[in-house]
């Protein structure tokens, strides 16, 4: 059977135990002065030994449970001896209260309550022997109430200490889990950053780098034609170089914008869309018609979904539409958030694009489905129009 360690025995109860012992001792000194009895010094010795053992109690906890049980047996014998050596003194029973609190702190509850019942029986026996049945019964009820009150209070203190220890342990585990989550979040952020860098590297290689390589070849071909005096063909090459350079400039501005930290989470959807249009489309020579009405902060999934759709559509306009104008409208209407993006470009064949997976249509549709939106795409010779309607609660 395990007992508590000295560190778990509360110092507060040590003070209470000694306070009870001192109160009984002072009361005994007063009686000692007033009466003469052949066992007065023996009773005084019993009280001193009880106090010494009370102070040495933490040392008993370092040994086996047998030593602890022996401690309570010896203390009980001392108290019973004091009660029976001097009749008509009831207050020695108070010393059982300290023992009742101690057993609650050092033993399992079942064993501890067994000892408390033993102390109660010893108290009743001592009072009956000293005062008889009737008066002893009245004293017994008084001391039994105090005895079980101390035991119950000690049990509550013990439960409170256990709850506090458990709370501290859970707090430590929670803090450790929080630190691990922070580490995982940092690792996830690093992975996301690395993934984004790889994507941008592929974009640079597949678009900008390839276009620049093509410009180099066109410039060399134009140089050879110029040396050969074929000026008409040189003009064609220069026009191609101009168009390719403009397209490369648009894609470069787009990549630079994607390298900047997004304003979506900090400021919301409308400021993020304005920042995109001002940083990329306007600087790329596209005429922009912006009608973005403030719709307030939306649920994070809706904001990121609409922003992702907008970026994908605007990227298509920039790279493939050969448009000179782009229109974007965002408004709240009929309990819906309506996003509309249109251009005056060359358009595309919708069925063909869906079959071949071009223009990122699959990603646009998936984003719309994730936020519960209805997607409409119209494209023809006069340009393309994309409309997304999302229920708003």
For residue 299, the domain's CATH number is 3.30.565.10
Report residue 284 as tokens: 């790329």
The answer to whether position 141 is within a domain reads: yes
The answer to whether position 204 is within a domain reads: no
Report residue 106 as tokens: 């050092």
Contact by Cβ (8 Å): 54, 129: no
pLDDT tens over the chain, length 393 residues: 545 554 456 677 788 888 888 988 888 888 777 776 667 788 888 889 999 998 888 888 776 788 889 989 998 999 888 888 877 777 888 889 888 888 888 888 889 889 999 999 998 888 888 888 788 888 888 888 888 888 888 878 777 777 888 888 888 888 888 888 878 777 766 675 566 566 666 665 566 666 666 667 777 777 777 777 777 676 776 777 777 676 666 666 666 555 554 666 677 788 888 888 887 777 778 888 888 887 777 776 788 888 888 888 888 888 788 888 999 999 988 888 899 999 998 888 877 777 666 657 888 888 888 888 899 989 888 889 999 999 876
Report residue 14 as tokens: 């040590």
Among 109, 141, 173, where does a domain finish? Answer: 173
Among 115, 145, 173, where does a domain finish? Answer: 173
The answer to whether position 257 is within a domain reads: no
Among 121, 139, 173, where does a domain finish? Answer: 173
Rounded distance between C-alpha atoms, residue 167 and residue 316, angstroms: 56
The answer to whether position 1 is within a domain reads: no
Report residue 44 as tokens: 């005084």
Please classify residue 28 by burial: count the beta carbons closer than 10 Å to its beta carbon, then call 0-12 exposed, 13-18 middle and 19+ buried. buried
* Whether residue 162 sits in one domain with residue 276: no
Torsion, Cα of 157, 159, 164, 170 (10° steps): 170
Torsion, Cα of 244, 246, 250, 252 (10° steps): 70
The domain of 81 spans 6-173
Tell me which residue has tokens 């209070």.
153
* Whether residue 284 sits in one domain with residue 152: no
Rounded distance between C-alpha atoms, residue 76 and residue 63, angstroms: 20
| Nearest residue to 245 via CA among 274, 222, 278 | 222
The answer to whether position 28 is within a domain reads: yes
* Whether residue 281 sits in one domain with residue 169: no
The answer to whether position 34 is within a domain reads: yes
* Whether residue 289 sits in one domain with residue 160: no
> How many domains does the chain contain in total?
2
């Amino acid at each position: 059977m395990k007992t508590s360690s000295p560190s778990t025995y509360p110092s507060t109860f040590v003070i209470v135990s000694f306070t009870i012992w001192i109160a009984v001792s002072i009361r005994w000194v007063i009686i000692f002065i007033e009466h003469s009895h052949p066992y007065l010094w023996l009773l005084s010795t019993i009280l001193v030994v009880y106090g010494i053992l009370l102070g040495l109690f933490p040392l008993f906890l370092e040994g086996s449970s047998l030593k602890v049980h022996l401690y309570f047996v010896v203390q009980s014998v001392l108290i019973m001896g004091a009660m029976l050596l001097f009749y008509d003194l009831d207050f020695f029973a108070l010393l059982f209260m300290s023992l009742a609190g101690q057993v609650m702190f050092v033993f399992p509850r079942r064993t501890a309550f067994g000892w408390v019942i033993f102390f109660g029986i010893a108290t009743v026996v001592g009072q009956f022997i000293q005062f008889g049945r009737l008066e002893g019964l009245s004293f017994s009820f008084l001391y039994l109430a105090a005895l079980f009150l101390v035991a119950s209070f000690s049990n509550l203190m013990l439960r409170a200490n256990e709850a506090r220890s458990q709370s501290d342990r859970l707090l430590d585990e929670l803090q450790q889990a929080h630190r691990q989550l922070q580490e995982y979040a940092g690792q996830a952020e690093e992975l996301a950053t690395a993934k984004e860098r790889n994507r941008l590297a592929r974009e640079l290689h597949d678009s900008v780098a390839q276009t620049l390589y093509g410009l180099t070849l066109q410039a060399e071909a134009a140089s050879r034609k110029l040396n050969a005096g074929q000026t008409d063909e040189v003009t064609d090459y220069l026009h191609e170089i101009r168009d390719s350079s403009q397209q490369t400039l648009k894609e470069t501005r787009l990549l630079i914008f994607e390298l900047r930290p997004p304003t979506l989470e900090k400021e919301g959807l409308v400021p993020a869309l304005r920042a995109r249009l001002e940083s990329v489309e306007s600087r790329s020579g596209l005429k922009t018609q912006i009608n973005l009405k403030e719709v307030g902060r939306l649920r994070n999934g809706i904001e990121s979904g609409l922003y992702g759709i907008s970026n994908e559509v605007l990227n298509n306009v920039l790279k493939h539409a050969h448009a000179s104008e782009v229109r974007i409208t965002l408004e709240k209407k009929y309990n819906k958030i309506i996003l509309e993006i249109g251009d005056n470009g060359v358009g595309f064949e919708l069925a063909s694009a869906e079959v071949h997976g071009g223009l990122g249509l699959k990603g646009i549709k998936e984003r719309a489905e994730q936020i519960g939106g209805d997607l409409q795409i119209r494209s023809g010779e006069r340009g393309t129009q994309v409309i997304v309607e999302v229920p708003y609660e």
